[in-house]
A and B are shown apart, each in its own frame.
Chain A
Amino acid sequence: MTTPDADSLLIERIRRGESDAWNDLIERYEGRLLAFVESRLGRRGPSEDIVQESFLGFLNSLPNYDGRRPLEGYLFSICAYKLTDHLRREGRRPAVPLASSADSSETWEIAGSARQASSIARSGERKSLEEKAIAEALGDQIARWRERGDWTKLKCSELLFVRGWANKDVADSLGLSEQQVANYKFDFIARLRTLITRSEVSADVFPELYDSEEAK
């Protein structure tokens, strides 16, 4: 298994210009990146071109790469960016209007607090720290579910929050009652709110945990 330490050492060697290390990185990651792109494009040639561009993009971004960030995720994100760009050029993916040019009625505001989004605009560093704090808390919760064999709670929360499914759809998919799903959701939100308070992260930046019916 590739450990974060192994990746850090590899990156250090690549930064020193060692071509063997660069070759190792390509060997380690090209297959999964190609599978990622090809699953969407369905054509080998252009998919290989995008992976090639991604490796080039990685080298170009290397001076700014934060070694604490998992390498695999970073490479996938570069690849996703290159793929998105390609799909846009092919006309398969629409260009999303900039937020500022969206209809004013769509301008986002924190529900219930009447504050403009701009009033909570945060620096990238601040956002990263908030995300890190919550990711650690979420990761602990997921690890606990796994240790206890609470697979249903894990699946339920993943469908609710990662896929955004409604309680009824989750209940149907997992063979639960809607009440059970609502209970799991209530417990999970309550737990997250506690963790957010403990992490001293502002509740304003997680409106979904404070505005939903289950959270009240």
Chain B
Amino acid sequence: MPRVTQSDLQAYLDEALAPEQMAAVEAELRKKPELLKQLAAINARRDAGVHSVGEIWRRQRLSCPTRDQLGSHLLGALSAEQADYIQFHVETIGCRLCQANIEDLRRQQEETAETVKTRRTKYFQSTAGHLRKKS
């Protein structure tokens, strides 16, 4: 794998790298504190209104498969070319959001309905009180 790139640092700031890449950046940051200045410089460029093609591509999710396509991929229902691209996008690019969607789709087959219901009820009960107040 190539060293930590400028694009990796940009994505690191947005918590957008795959977990192992995030860990790799953090390991580099511990070894080379001067990388913090690079992160600050990226923030400065953003503040100045400078764009990066990679940042736009990633943020706008321009090549992300749809959730339906990810589901079809898990079922092995896509063409070889589409499946190959999704594997590339998820593993080599390390798209964190597509990884999360795939993991969620996998878990839907594994988790019990009771576990999911308990969790969702907790989220609902702890937030619904803010619903009307904020609307």
Residues of B within 8 A of A108 (CB): 41, 44-45, 48, 50
6 new A-B contacts at CB < 8 Å, known A62-B134, A98-B40? A60-B134, A73-B59, A77-B14, A99-B40, A163-B94, A166-B2
With an 8 A cutoff between CB atoms, is B31 at the interface?
A: no
Interface string of A100-127 (1 = CB under 8 A from B): 1111001110100000011011100011
Contacts of A5-63 to chain B: CB distance below 8 A: 14-17, 19, 22-23, 26-27, 30-36, 39-40, 48, 51-52, 55-56, 59-60, 62-63
Rounded to whole angstroms, the CA-CA distance of A93 and B23 in the bound complex is 10
Residues of A within 8 A of B62 (CB): 135, 138-139, 142
Residues of B within 8 A of A77 (CB): 14
Rounded to whole angstroms, the CA-CA distance of A102 and B103 in the bound complex is 39
Interface string of B24-64 (1 = CB under 8 A from A): 00100100000011111101110111111110111111110
List B residues at the A interface (Cβ < 8 Å): 2, 5-8, 13-16, 18-19, 22, 26, 29, 36-41, 43-45, 47-54, 56-63, 66-68, 81, 84-85, 88-89, 92-94, 96-97, 99-101, 103-104, 107-108, 116, 119-120, 122-124, 126-128, 130-132, 134-135
Task: Name B20's closest neighbour in chain A (CB-CB).
Answer: A39
Report if A163-B19 is in contact (Cβ < 8 Å); known contacts: A80-B14, A99-B43, A158-B57: no
Task: Name A63's closest neighbour in chain B (CB-CB).
Answer: B134
**Number of contact residues on A: which range applies?**
35 or more
Structural contact, A15 and B135, CB atoms closer than 8 A? yes
Residues of A within 8 A of B29 (CB): 94
Structural contact, A16 and B92, CB atoms closer than 8 A? no
Picked from B51, B97, B101, B126, the residue with its CB within 8 Å of the CB of A130 is: B51
Structural contact, B134 and A99, CB atoms closer than 8 A? no
